[in-house]
Amino acid sequence: MPSLNSSLNLGQRALSINQRAMHTVGHNIANQETEGFSRQQLHSGTSAPDPTGVGGGADAQPTTRVYDKFVQRKILQENPRSGMFRSRGEFLQKIEIIFSETEGNGLHNALNEFWNSWSQLSNNPESESARIQVKVQSDVLARRFRGMHSQLQGLRSEINGRLSANINKVNELGKKVAELNRQINTYEDGQRIANDMRDARNQAIEELSELVDVNSFEDPNGRITVIIGRDWTLAEGNNHYHLEGNMKGGELGMLRIDGVSVNDNRRDLTRTFREGEMSEMLRMRDETIVEYQHNLDEMAFNLAAQVNKLHATGTGINSAKDMMKSTFGLNSEALNQPLPFLKDGIFQLHLVDPHNEILETYELEIQSGVDTLPDIVNRLNQTVNDPGLLQASIEADGSMLLQSGHDYKFIFGEDQSGVTQVLGLNSFFDTLKGAEDIHLGQHIRENPNNISTGKDLVPGDNRVALEIAKLQTRPTMRDETMTFDEYYNGVLTGMGLKIQRNKTDQAHQESMVRQFKEIRSSISAVNMDEELTDMMQYQKAYEASARFINTVDEMMETVINM
């Protein structure tokens, strides 16, 4: 038969349970706004009855988190894609600004002004103002190409900086997970439950999942192993293995990401991230932006090639020269190799007298894949056969020098081989890489009268200027299937479609993550109405337990006073 003492103990345990329950409610209310906090609940169980079957009251069970690990795992799976779409949208918007045509400052407008200036020059090839306009608009176009290419390169450098910051953040989160692993293991060794530490660890892993794709699992000791990318272990037990940005290896000036493990063992992880902000930054830096740079390079290089092809063999007011040096020089190794990009065909030079009359035409047969620069120089000198008329030589820097004799000058004639373009002879634009380095030829910058407008030194001849102006509507890009405008419009249209598709994907992904978080919130978040209801219930239970103890105390006093 239970004694009054056992009844007092029963009441004392009831008081303690309700006091702990009230404390848990207060803890929940205090952490209502704490990010990642899961509300906690105190559970109680029935104490064992005595041999007669009389109940022994209740015993407190450990305080637990209200938490659904499957919902949390789904959030960790979807978070990296949200980070990826978000990062892609941010940088596509910046690329769109670089290609923007607002306020008349875009490449499209510069191209139109360039073609218009040539059209006006073709109408009046002897006009000094028209020539100056061609020079100015051509220089504007070249600067626009270089500026856009430079801005894209600057965006790649910006991504480098962002990657460095994210590497530091990943390392901090990995270190935090490892430290929380240690604290949780130590705390729970004493048969306690580290609810708040587990919440903090989950929150760190969730933040990490926005940066990189994450996989994690918990061992029997409560420690979590975090794997990022395909297979790099960031945190394992009490240990963490950090990432490091490295400029060595890969493309010059572009940061690569190394994983550093024990004994300073390193592995290149740059291509191992599949989703998350960092993976998209790397794709944006090394693929998307580079593709747009290549688009600009292709356009600028093709524009220069087409204009130079017509300009090199044309003539202007001041076209006949007594000396000309090629723009591009070759190193010693290249001098012994066949010149690239040549075609089989003839290359002509006209010798001109002081009255601008053509005295002689020298014609060379060029073989692609065979002829080196020394071959061409030797063949030209053999063809002329008189250094007093015209002589070719190779300078110390590997460039070709053409020099006529006293009172003689020269101009270029038909060039089926492309020698003038390959070497940069009488070129309008100079470029080796495309948009990155395109410039107006120095002889054009120095004197607009060097602009070729016609052929054969005929005054008023506009054939070359007219042909260059017609390039605007002539299919010259992509195997002569589209015009410059069509090609550039295609680039802009493709960009717009990428931006719109990403917006749609991002909205869908964020909606999905938001729904999973709402499910988690409905399970784990603190609800003030529920907490206040529980608080009133525990308060009443506490008061009832206190009254029960008081009643038992009175009963004991009665027994004592008998």
| pLDDT (tens digit per residue) in 537-546 | 989 999 998 9
| The residue to which tokens 């007011």 are assigned | 317
> For residue 373, is pLDDT > 60?
yes
Instruction: Please tell me the pTM assigned to this model.
Output: 0.86
pLDDT in tens, 458-487: 888 999 999 999 999 999 999 999 999 999
Least reliable range by pLDDT among 46-55, 169-178, 322-331, 332-341: 46-55
Q: E strand or H helix at 347, and its extent?
A: strand 345-352
Alpha-carbon torsion angle 5, 11, 15, 18, nearest 10 = 150
CA-to-CA separations, 249 to 241, 252, 267, 289, 510, in angstroms, rounded: 21, 7, 12, 20, 36
- For the record, the structure tokens of 225 come out as 């192993």
Q: Considering only CA atoms, which of 281, 286, 287 is closest in space to residue 161? A: 281
Residue 2 is predicted with a pLDDT of: 67
Residue 20: what are its φ and ψ, rounded to 5°? -65, -40
DSSP state at residue 238: T
DSSP state at residue 477: B
Assess contact for 392 and 377: CB atoms under 8 A.
yes
DSSP state at residue 398: S
Assess contact for 391 and 385: CB atoms under 8 A.
no
What does the pLDDT average to over 166-185? 95
Q: E strand or H helix at 361, and its extent?
A: strand 358-366
Q: For residues 465 and 451, give the distance between their C-alpha atoms in angstroms, rounded to a whole number.
A: 9
Q: Does domain 320-425 have CATH number 2.60.40?
A: yes
Which of helix, strand or coil describes residue 327? coil
What lies within 8 Å, CB to CB, of 501 at 6+ separation is: none
Secondary structure, 3-state, 197-226: HHHHHHHHHHHHHHHCCEEEEECCCCCEEE
The mean pLDDT value of the chain amounts to 91
Assess contact for 339 and 366: CB atoms under 8 A.
no
Which of helix, strand or coil describes residue 66? coil
Q: Considering only CA atoms, which of 294, 340, 311 is closest in space to residue 452? A: 311
Q: For residues 345 and 177, give the distance between their C-alpha atoms in angstroms, rounded to a whole number.
A: 70
Q: For residues 39 and 521, give the distance between their C-alpha atoms in angstroms, rounded to a whole number.
A: 10
pLDDT in tens, 94-115: 999 999 987 778 899 999 999 9
What does the pLDDT average to over 123-128? 93
Assess contact for 291 and 271: CB atoms under 8 A.
no
Strand partners, 45: 59
Please give the single-letter amino acid code of residue 361: T
Q: Considering only CA atoms, which of 7, 30, 17 is closest in space to residue 62? A: 17
Residue 251 is predicted with a pLDDT of: 82
Q: For residues 338 and 422, give the distance between their C-alpha atoms in angstroms, rounded to a whole number.
A: 12
What size, in residues, is the chain? 562
Q: For residues 398 and 396, give the distance between their C-alpha atoms in angstroms, rounded to a whole number.
A: 5
- Report residue 282's pLDDT band, with 50, 70 and 90 as the boundaries: very high
Q: For residues 62 and 42, give the distance between their C-alpha atoms in angstroms, rounded to a whole number.
A: 7
**Burial code of 109-122, b = ≥16 C-beta within 10 A, e = fewer?**
bbbbbbbebbbbbb
> For residue 562, is pLDDT > 80?
no
- Report residue 1's pLDDT band, with 50, 70 and 90 as the boundaries: low
> For residue 354, is pLDDT > 70?
yes
Residue 191: what are its φ and ψ, rounded to 5°? 65, 30
**Sequence ranges of the domains in the chain:** 4-66+527-561, 164-286, 320-425
- For the record, the structure tokens of 500 come out as 């719109």
Strand partners, 402: 324, 392
Assess contact for 297 and 266: CB atoms under 8 A.
no
What lies within 8 Å, CB to CB, of 280 at 6+ separation is: 83, 84, 85, 87, 88, 91
What lies within 8 Å, CB to CB, of 377 at 6+ separation is: 392, 393, 394, 400
Share of the chain above pLDDT 90, in %: 69
Q: Considering only CA atoms, which of 83, 414, 527 is closest in space to residue 280? A: 83
CA-to-CA separations, 203 to 17, 35, 498, in angstroms, rounded: 30, 8, 32
What lies within 8 Å, CB to CB, of 105 at 6+ separation is: none
**Burial code of 73-88, b = ≥16 C-beta within 10 A, e = fewer?**
ebbbbbbbbbbbbbbb
Q: E strand or H helix at 554, and its extent?
A: helix 528-561
DSSP string of 158-171? Answer: HHHHHHHHHHHHHH
DSSP strands (E only) in 416-462: 429-430, 439-440
pLDDT in tens, 382-422: 999 999 999 999 999 999 999 999 889 999 999 999 999 88
